[in-house]
Amino acid sequence: MRVVAVAVNTFRETIRDRILGVILLFALAMIVASLWLASISLGQEDRMIKDFGLLAISVFGLIVAAFVAANLVRKEVEKRTVFIIFSKPVSRSEFIWGKFLGLAATMLAVLAGMTVFLFALAWFVDKSPSGSLLVAGLLIYLQLLVVMAVTMLFATMTSAILASVWGICVYVAGQLSHNVLSMAHAGHAGSAHVMSALVFYVVPNLSAVDIRAAVVGEGAVARSSLLGWGVYLIAYLVVALLIATAIFRRKEF
């Protein structure tokens, strides 16, 4: 269970990192700030807190996913802790998967903390619990797992900062996936159609389910579409990590 050993080690190291604590504090401050926004919203406190609270969770979760995931691999290479790891009977794939699982556990702790805090805040303001917020938190977590996997993939090939930037770009592009689909179906000729289709399949579809829109009442989300999307995201991150492992196997230190 070397994967578990690497995962536990990664979890310990990242959860104790003060940068994470600072990011979490800012996220909680932003959620509380949404209370102030809610107070000037003419009776729409419930909607404002949920919408801006989930936005804060997404943004800060994205910062953690992109920057921490990128550093996870690069830092080990740059600081040469990989020499210590790979001088022991640990395979490259065990290392990558262990790192990912450890960070996934960290991200779960961070996101769960923020989501529960937001849930309690919304309950306090609205005087009734909003289960959809907890579901939204879980879906944001799945999105960010994909961003983490993609960022780790880039980190096996390039510097930490570039990998982080790419990770954020993939998140933004993933939010526009439905537009790419429209372009692919718009009847453009030849290469434009092929390019659109290629981009549509390669970039993760992070907008298939509109989490925040559903929470603030702009449409409902069917359970079956949630399940399908969840399976899609998990398959996507598995592919990203398999490619990352294949690249990492070829790396020399």
Partner 1 sequence: MRRARAIAAAAVLVVCVGVIVAYQATRPAVAAPNPVVFVPSPSFYRNFSPSARASVADVYWLYAIQYYGEHLNSDRRLDSLPALIRLVTTLSPHFKEAYFFGSFSMLDVGRPDVAYALLQQGFKANPGDWRFPFYLGFFAYTFATGAHKDAVAAQWYEKAARLPGVPPFVSRLAAEMATKGNERQTAVDLWTQVYVQGDKYAQQKAVTALDALLPKDKIAREKAVAGLEASVPRAMFAQFVADLFKGYQ
Partner 2 sequence: MNIADHRDSTFSVLEVRDLHKTVAVGFRRRKVEILKGVDLEVRDGDVFGLLGPNGAGKTTTLKVVLGLMRPTSGSVTLGVDGLAELGYLPENPYFYDYLTGSEFLRFCARLFSLGARERDARVSAILADVGLEGAAGVQLRKYSKGMLQRIGIAQALINEPRFVLLDEPMTGLDPIGRVEVKEIIQRLHERGTTVLFNSHILADVAALCTRIAIMRAGRVVWQGAVDEALAATPGADLEGFFMDVVRS
Tell me how far apart the alpha carbons of residues 77 and 165 are, in angstroms, rounded to a whole number. Answer: 19
Is the CB of 34 or the CB of 71 nearer to partner 1? 34
Look at residue 80 and give the partner it binds from partner 1, partner 2, none, a contact being a CB closer than 5 to 8 Å depending on partner kind: partner 2
Tell me how far apart the alpha carbons of residues 102 and 164 are, in angstroms, rounded to a whole number. Answer: 18
Pick from 31, 85, 163, 184: which binds partner 2 (CB under 8 A)?
Answer: 85
Residues 158, 79: contact at Cβ < 8 Å?
Answer: no
Residues making contact with partner 1 (CB under 8 A):
37, 40-44, 47-48, 51-52, 55, 175-176, 178-179, 207, 210-213, 216-219
What are the b/e assignments for 190-208, b being 16+ CB within 10 Å? eeeeeebeebbeebbbbbb
Is the CB of 140 or the CB of 145 nearer to partner 1? 140
Q: Cβ of residue 48: shortest distance to partner 1, in angstroms? A: 6
Look at residue 52 and give the partner it binds from partner 1, partner 2, none, a contact being a CB closer than 5 to 8 Å depending on partner kind: partner 1
Tell me how far apart the alpha carbons of residues 49 and 35 are, in angstroms, rounded to a whole number. Answer: 6
Residues 138, 108: contact at Cβ < 8 Å?
Answer: no
Is the CB of 40 or the CB of 189 nearer to partner 1? 40
User: Does residue 222 come out as left (phi exceeding 0), alpha (psi in the -120 to 50 range) or beta?
Assistant: beta
> 113: which 2 tokens?
């903390």
CA-atom Rg of the chain in angstroms: 19
**Interface mask toward partner 2 for 2-41; x: CB under 8 A:** x-xxx-xx--xx--xx------------------------
In the complex, the residues that contact partner 2 under the rule CB under 8 A are: 1-2, 4-6, 8-9, 12-13, 16-17, 79-90, 252-253
